[in-house]
């Protein structure tokens, strides 16, 4: 998940408005439909470059940051490749939520709340820093996995509750009501795909986040920083998952040749 820190100075508290929420929900629904109809589209575009070891991050739309009423939608996509990896191992690692704090640097803690078939309900505590600002949020998400065939699969994660944590880790720690606080992250969705092919595994990641708008007169300073953070975040998440995948025990003996 991506927490976008918009300013290197303290910001006043702000509340999520219905206009911003509805704009994000509409955008996220359209993005999810596009992803589930073609979960490997980005991989197909970038396959030759990815096989060379490059992790590619790019805006999901426009320059990656879209203005909506009373907020900003951050949309980023990325892809990577790992030789000799398998889709079963990747899906096993992705579902190992208790291990997320050892996979992702930004994840402080994680837990599986419940599971029903291929749908998981999970809780993550995420900490992000930008300059002198540290943001800590607790995110509860519903994650649904799907298999296209024996060699490919995908997941769709939708945050159902995001709460900013004040004085995280301290005796007086408290969670603010959802939709309040500094507005670093109000809504989030993540779309991932895994395709075993060409002697390895292609990974793709697409992230959506809703944050507050730019403070008055500071947008021209903050926007380039936010764009760099967005690209860096999606590329970093792919690099961390790929590194964890290298260390993960194989969960299948299916030869790569069976998957092309």
User: In this predicted structure, what is the pLDDT of residue 129?
Assistant: 75
User: In this predicted structure, what is the pLDDT of residue 258?
Assistant: 73
Q: Which two tokens stand for residue 187?
A: 């809504």
User: In this predicted structure, what is the pLDDT of residue 132?
Assistant: 60
Mean pLDDT of the chain: 86
User: In this predicted structure, what is the pLDDT of residue 216?
Assistant: 52
Q: Which two tokens stand for residue 83?
A: 């030789």
User: In this predicted structure, what is the pLDDT of residue 128?
Assistant: 81
**Any bridge partners for residue 66, and if so which?**
73
Closest CA to 190 of 228, 125, 259, 144: 144
User: In this predicted structure, what is the pLDDT of residue 162?
Assistant: 95
User: In this predicted structure, what is the pLDDT of residue 218?
Assistant: 47
Closest CA to 1 of 224, 155, 173, 201: 155
The burial of 141, by beta-carbon neighbours within 10 Å (0-12 exposed, 13-18 middle, 19 or more buried), is given as buried
Inter-residue contact 109 to 127 (CB < 8 Å) = no
Q: Which domains does the chain have, with CATH numbers?
A: 18-259 (3.30.530.20)
User: In this predicted structure, what is the pLDDT of residue 47?
Assistant: 92
Q: Where are the beta strands (DSSP E) in the chain?
A: 56-59, 65-68, 71-83, 107-116, 119-130, 133-149, 152-166, 174-175, 187-197, 200-211
pLDDT digit string (tens) for the chain, length 260 residues: 333 444 433 456 789 999 999 999 999 999 999 999 999 999 988 999 999 999 999 999 988 999 999 999 999 999 999 999 999 999 999 999 999 999 999 999 999 999 999 999 999 999 987 666 678 999 999 999 999 999 999 999 999 999 999 988 889 899 999 999 888 889 999 999 999 999 999 999 999 999 887 655 444 345 545 555 666 789 999 999 999 999 887 665 555 567 86
Q: What is the pLDDT of residues 30-51, one digit of tens each?
A: 999 999 999 999 998 899 999 9
Q: What is the pLDDT of residues 8-24, one digit of tens each?
A: 334 567 899 999 999 99
User: In this predicted structure, what is the pLDDT of residue 255?
Assistant: 54
Distance CA 108, CA 137 (A): 10
20 φ, ψ (degrees, to nearest 5): -65, -40
Q: What is the pLDDT of residues 126-145, one digit of tens each?
A: 998 766 667 899 999 999 99
- Residue 257's CB is within 10 A of a number of other CB atoms, namely 7
CA angle 131, 137, 139 (to 5 degrees): 140
Closest CA to 27 of 67, 83, 54, 81: 67
Helix (H, G, I), strand (E, B) or coil at 234: helix
Cα-Cα-Cα-Cα torsion 241, 85, 115, 210, nearest 10 degrees, comes to 40
Q: Which residues of 48-85 are buried (b: 16+ CB within 10 A; e: fewer)?
A: eebeeeebbbebbeeebbbebebbbbbbbbbbbbbeeb
User: In this predicted structure, what is the pLDDT of residue 135?
Assistant: 83
**Any bridge partners for residue 87, and if so which?**
none
């Amino acid at each position: 998940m991506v927490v976008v820190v918009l300013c290197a100075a303290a910001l006043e508290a702000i509340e999520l408005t219905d206009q911003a929420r509805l704009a994000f929900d509409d955008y996220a629904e359209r993005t999810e439909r596009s992803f589930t109809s073609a979960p490997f589209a980005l991989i197909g575009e970038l396959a030759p470059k990815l096989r060379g070891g490059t992790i590619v991050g790019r805006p999901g739309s426009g320059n990656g940051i879209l203005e909506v009423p009373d907020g900003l939608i951050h949309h980023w996509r990325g892809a990577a490749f790992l030789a000799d990896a398998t889709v079963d191992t990747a899906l096993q690692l992705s579902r190992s939520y208790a291990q997320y704090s050892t996979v992702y640097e930004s994840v402080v803690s994680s837990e599986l709340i419940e599971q029903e078939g291929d749908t998981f309900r999970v809780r993550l505590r995420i900490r992000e820093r930008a300059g002198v600002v540290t943001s800590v949020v607790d995110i509860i998400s519903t994650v649904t996995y799907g298999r296209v065939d024996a060699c490919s699969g995908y997941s769709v994660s939708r945050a159902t509750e995001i709460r900013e944590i004040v004085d995280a880790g301290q005796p007086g720690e408290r969670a603010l009501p959802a939709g309040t606080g500094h507005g670093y992250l109000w809504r989030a969705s993540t779309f991932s795909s895994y395709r075993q092919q060409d002697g390895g595994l292609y990974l793709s990641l697409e992230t959506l986040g809703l944050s507050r708008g730019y403070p008055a007169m500071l947008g021209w300073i903050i926007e380039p920083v936010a764009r760099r953070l967005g690209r860096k975040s999606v590329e970093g998440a792919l690099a961390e998952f790929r590194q964890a995948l290298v260390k993960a025990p194989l969960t299948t003996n299916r030869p790569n040749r069976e998957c092309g």
